[in-house]
Amino acid sequence: MQTEFNTEKDTAPAITCTAPWRLAKIKPLANYKLEVEFVDGTRGVIDMQNLILSKQAGVFIKLKDSDTFNKVYIEHGTPTWPCDVDLAPDAIYNDIKNKGHCSL
């Protein structure tokens, strides 16, 4: 049984996720598009314009403001916005891998 604790050094092993659908890079473009690169090097564009401007936008209506849309970042390999909106990267990955783009 350990009776002394060492909090100065992180001794936990690093976890490396190798799922190819995790995002490595993301860049917002005009007209509600995102340029993305996945950890396996697959690249493409996600077109969200039809979704965001539709009457069925749901939570994605929060991204209609271009300043909000442009604040996209990657959290745990997922496209995420500060307004508590994110996308499932696995389905996006499959479209981009097969077609070079994804339209939502």
Q: What does the pLDDT read at residue 21?
A: 85
What are the chain's domains? Answer: 23-103 (3.30.2020.10)
Q: Output the CA–CA distances (angstroms, integers) from residue 73 to 7, 24, 39, 97, in the order listed.
A: 31, 10, 15, 21
So what's the pLDDT on residue 75? 93
pLDDT in 10s for each residue of the chain, 104 residues = 445 544 455 455 565 666 788 999 999 999 999 999 999 999 999 999 999 999 999 999 999 999 999 999 999 899 999 999 999 998 899 999 999 899 99
